[in-house]
Structure 1
């Protein structure tokens, strides 16, 4: 059975112009021509067109699609699998959104008008999350919140969303009060709030330091989420500095008085530079990049310089701090650095000093 270009366009919803363009660039060339010169498309052509449209839905360019289709190893089954994966992602996002909307519906039925934060949270699960987390990570986060549950059968799912929203709002309000009162990030109140904030993020991340740093990065980069939490970049920075002061106190058992005096002068000043560096290093590690490759060597040099800077340039103190960090679990909690990342960085730094084989 053959289809002419007009019929193929009508039955697929594409335009004749688009099909002609596909032919012009060699992406979809009809198998035959009629005696009158009409383009004739057979079953194989239609199957190829399906693959083209499926790949277009994955936001691939026509040039990328051409390369994939020319690859003999790329079968139709793989394309369908990609579509199923995409649909699964959309279903999970829609399910999470549904759970939150049901919680909002309960508020409305109780004559309680949802606030701006509630409406913004409805967007969070559909927009920001997918930019920063893999499918597996989104499932982990969703499982922690109960978002993946069917809220009509498990009301605790909506309760979890409401509790999370109230917890965030309470912490944000406490933060604003501290800042308005001029409290230093070094104050006990600020340090206690920072610990509660990090504990909340770690709870969302299931204790995963890698997810924690992604949550931090997402909150830092996304204006909608800063509006959602009521915490702007200055607020996030305040929390980070307060947490640095809290962690500074944990180094006291590992340092003498002179060491601590040096740390108080230099340690907190390096705080803002760590999260983006940790994020970049983790991206290299997750990509299985060589610890001796050029990108990681550059990151290792930055890491070593930043580590030395927080010790005021004192190499001996820097070594003691690193030893304490490796051996004291309390220092690592909430840092965004887990054991695999630390080992990867140490391997890269060791390669910096290794003799060249060139």
Structure 2
């Protein structure tokens, strides 16, 4: 068992994403030989050897379905792989030669008559489509299968987005920002961490239209609203990124302790929400913010227990949690508000007290998991604000 690798270790050593390895497991292409009692994936030397074959075949241009058929075929041999790849290259070269000939003829017609027959244009456009199609057949089949698997969840998401659009919700609305974050996260999971597939899908959305890209389930106005919300989310993330350099050392310790608590103690999920911020504040006990929370009966053990009970369904292997956990939209909003609190108070650095004030202010619009803890502990928020402000 000492030679077994967890999924995070294998991903790091091969350069593949954890999402890709998970997807290979889901489709039966690379099923880990072992699992821990907690059902965490463990890969043996034989699994790693199979992964090497998969990557080699992918490099040759094979579809995942073809790779599985090859590896499951007892008569599988490398010469067969090369012959199949050569045949595919010959087909591509034939299409390219045809396109070259047609474009040459069009150029000659334009030089002599300044016009081109409609039939010739149509034929050329068809050939261009063949050589520059947005998705390969494998990619199309892969996305269609994933869309089918998550059909109910997808429709629920679209219903939510359409409802927010119909209500005229502001793009800064916390629920709209959460929707945008969910969209972006889901799209990355949808393509299994394959950036080439993501780029092809994005190009299809932009040039062929939302209906074509999502098989008729996503209309243009809804897509435009979602993409605007995602753009707003990205702008806010950039703003927060620029403020991280203004964190006081104690606040940097809060973020570090919060991530550590989420990863090692709670093992809840692979992103940093307001719950992580609150746990970090409570872990750095020397701050005024932690002491003010403690006076009202909120400590690390109490908050951790509540989060563990509420988020039991979100358990994640520590090996699958990234070193730098991404912030959720609510956490970004809290950091943004904390920066505003520091500016209003004339402080150059963002302190833990500013961060807690950000949690309280964000909580006025509904709040996240941190606000739920404060409410469960019956914290007097007005009194808390008074203690935190100079």
Question: TM-score normalized by structure 1?
Answer: 0.30
TM-score by length of 2: 0.28
